[in-house]
């Protein structure tokens, strides 16, 4: 028997979102879908299989282990490793055909030496990361030609592409948009510096979810879709804003997070609930107990304020969320809530949820990305066909 606290992945919603993204692109622009962090908490293998069906060309991952899992589940698309790996992981890059981002002389030489030991028949493809303002990994634009030359002259490596990442593209402030434009221009300079070395820069990409929606001039050869594939708009680039720009892009949340009522208890006036005794009943009421807590991803900071959906109505979570349980005030003698009723924490409209991961994110002063990726492994994901 399966635990009642679970998540459902709405397969057709993911397909819808990928097709919505495609509608914004020119015919020759490729899609790289981010499936890192277990597909933003949605099950990376499932997301990857749907991506293959929808004509996506590449998948973005963050760790070598994520790539191995995909390969062992029959995923044949290019896997682009966005984070760095250690020398102990490099043999698996070749074994599982994972394309790394590189940028420094030391890192390039390290991968080249690892490739030499493997004695590959063909040169191994790498992509050059450019730091245009994110301040994470990447060489500076003025160094791009030199680093590309190092790759091409290494003996075992081949430059297959270039990439950078935007830091502020999801903000509509004039300063943020100015900064994004500066990043884009710096990336263009890096690409030109590689070409001046007589080297083909390969597949170039810089547009993240926000730039995909808001900056079509920045799509280059390939876009890298993240949160929008899973049904959420990036910060200020909302559906309302896009409609004002003549873009009717309908993204549908892909995941629902649900549980069941496992107990209903009558509490008198003045009874405290949960750790710290932070909430007290103002009158006699009934409290529903739910078997879900912060160890599942229902973060402690969501209460007070969190509303869950039971049979089409919203009810407040009261007191502190515990590791494995939380409590909901359903009111005295409520005929609409019964033992074992389904409780929806967030999800798409078709799941019956009245809240989304965005709503929870606002409560926790965070972003939908964190809410989605916080769901733990003990919350089993099921496919909703």
Catalytic positions:
36, 275
Q: Cα separation of 248 and 241, whole Å?
A: 10
DSSP code at position 130: B
For residue 361, what is the enclosing H or E element?
helix 357-363
Q: Is the peptide bond before 304 cis (omega within 30 degrees of 0)?
A: yes
**Which phi and psi (to 5°) does residue 174 adopt?**
-60, -35
* CA distances, 377 to each of 30, 78, 188, 281 (Å): 31, 26, 41, 34
Q: How many CB atoms lie within 10 A of CB 205?
A: 27
Q: How many CB atoms lie within 10 A of CB 118?
A: 14
Residue 198 tokens, joined: 């007589």
Strand partners, 346: 257
Q: Give the max Cα distance, the chain.
A: 79
Q: Are 348 and 13 in contact (CB under 8 A)?
A: yes
Tell me which residue of 136, 7, 6, 157 sits closest to 90, measured CA to CA. 157
Q: Are 14 and 38 in contact (CB under 8 A)?
A: no
**Which phi and psi (to 5°) does residue 242 adopt?**
-65, -40
Q: Cα separation of 73 and 48, whole Å?
A: 10
Residue 268 tokens, joined: 């008198």
Return the exposure string of 342-365: e unless at least 16 CB atoms fall within 10 Å of the residue's CB, then b: ebbbbbbeebebbbbbbbbbebbe
Residue 46 tokens, joined: 């499932």
């Amino acid at each position: 028997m399966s635990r009642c606290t679970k998540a459902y992945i709405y397969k057709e919603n993911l397909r819808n979102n990928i097709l919505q993204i495609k509608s914004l692109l020119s015919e020759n622009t490729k899609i790289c879908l981010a499936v890192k962090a277990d597909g933003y908490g949605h099950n990376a293998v499932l997301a990857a299989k749907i991506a293959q069906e929808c004509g996506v060309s590449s998948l973005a991952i963050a760790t070598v282990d994520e790539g191995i899992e995909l390969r062992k589940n029959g995923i044949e698309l290019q896997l682009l490793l966005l984070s760095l790996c250690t020398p102990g992981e490099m043999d698996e890059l070749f074994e599982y055909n994972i394309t790394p981002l590189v940028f420094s002389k030391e890192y390039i030489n390290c991968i080249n030496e690892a490739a030499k030991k493997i004695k590959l028949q063909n040169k191994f493809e790498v992509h050059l990361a450019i730091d245009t303002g994110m301040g994470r990994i990447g060489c500076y634009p003025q160094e791009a030609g030199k680093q590309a030359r190092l790759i091409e002259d290494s003996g075992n490596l081949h430059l297959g592409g270039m990439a950078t990442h935007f830091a502020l593209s999801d903000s509509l402030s004039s300063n943020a948009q100015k900064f994004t434009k500066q990043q884009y221009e710096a990336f263009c300079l890096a690409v030109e510096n590689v070409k001046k070395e007589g080297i083909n820069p390969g597949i170039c990409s810089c547009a993240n979810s926000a730039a995909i929606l808001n900056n079509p001039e920045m799509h280059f050869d390939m876009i890298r879709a993240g949160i929008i594939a899973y049904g959420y708009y990036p910060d200020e680039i909302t559906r309302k804003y896009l409609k004002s720009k003549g873009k009717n892009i309908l993204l549908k949340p892909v995941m629902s997070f649900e549980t069941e009522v496992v107990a209903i208890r009558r509490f008198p006036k003045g009874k405290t609930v949960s750790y710290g005794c932070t909430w007290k009943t103002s009158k006699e009421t009934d409290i529903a107990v739910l078997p879900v807590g912060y160890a599942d991803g229902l973060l402690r900071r969501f209460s007070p304020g969190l509303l869950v959906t039971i049979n089409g109505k919203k009810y407040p979570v009261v007191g502190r969320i515990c590791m494995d349980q939380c409590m909901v005030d359903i009111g005295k003698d409520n005929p609409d809530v019964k033992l074992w009723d389904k409780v929806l924490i967030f999800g798409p409209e078709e799941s019956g949820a009245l809240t989304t991961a965005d709503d929870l994110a606002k409560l926790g002063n965070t972003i939908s990305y964190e809410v989605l990726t916080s769901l733990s492994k003990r919350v089993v994901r099921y496919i909703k066909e």
